[in-house]
Amino acid sequence: MRFKDKVAIVTGGGRNVGQAIARRFVAEGASVAVVDLDPGRGKATVDELEQARSGSAHFVQCDVSSSSDVQRMVAEVVETFGGVDVLVNNVAITDRGRSVLELEEDEWRRVMAITLDSVFLCSKYAGRQMVDQGRGGAIVNIGSTSGYRGRNNATAYSAAKGAVLNLTRSLASQLGEHGIRVNTVTPNKVGSPVGEDVEPEDRKRINLLGRGAVPEDIANAVAFMASDDAGFVTASDLLVDGGSLYGAPPV
């Protein structure tokens, strides 16, 4: 119950990693705003969480690449639960399968808007709420090993995730004086591929532990980074990749 009486926002909370994170926060006592553009997935997740604990979850439909939508989302969370203590910037899309020679400019901008701009916008407006409350807070951004190394089958996604790592450090340096910690958790090929609901049975993974990551692996790490157990951790990145970044060639 590390999050008893705390309020958490989880973007992309309707499936895969975001859903697992929302489940973990509810299990540990938090009230959770499940933010998703897809109302079917978002409401289904909230219905499940409400069965586990009544009053624990609320769905907010939101385009996290839109400033006005993000501001409305934060205001709705505050109206529903009374504040914001934790923000998890999880949502992302990818441009898988396209090199710089083939990637259209519109797709580049869309990937950057949803994967990177959303982190800026949600951190800005949830961060303002945390500052106004005066009780500190935690922001956890979901990174990717793609942000550490270039890929031959993605362009905008790698660029966006690399930027998320350094944006996190900047946010940590700016918000630390307000008692707000900002960190990243970096997975590799966890659950279904980015933007998809089903994980291919033949999905190739190479790491040091010989198994694929599951969403709960990331939820465990996020819960730690958002909790008081990590109270002196900020501007850091927690790799939860089975050692794939350092123990295997890029795939």
194 Cβ contact list (under 8 Å, min separation 6) = 92, 93, 94, 96, 157
Q: Tell me the C-alpha to C-alpha distance, in Å, between residue 243 and each of 89, 161, 205, 248.
A: 23, 18, 11, 8
In single-letter form, the type of residue at position 53 comes to: R
In the β-sheet with 180-187, what is the strand arrangement from edge to edge? 57-61, 31-36, 7-11, 86-89, 137-142, 180-187, 237-240
Record the tokens describing residue 221, joined without a space.
């790490």
218 Cβ contact list (under 8 Å, min separation 6) = 17, 20, 21, 142, 185, 187, 190, 240
Residue 246 is a catalytic residue: no
Nearest to 26 by CA among 76, 68, 86, 82: 86
CA distance 87 to 175: 13
Residue identified by tokens 């989880």 is 10
Record the tokens describing residue 153, joined without a space.
């089958």
Q: Tell me the C-alpha to C-alpha distance, in Å, between residue 131 and each of 72, 123, 127.
A: 18, 11, 6
In single-letter form, the type of residue at position 181 comes to: R
Which position among 125, 148, 157, 246 bears the catalytic label?
157
Which are the catalytic amino acids? 157
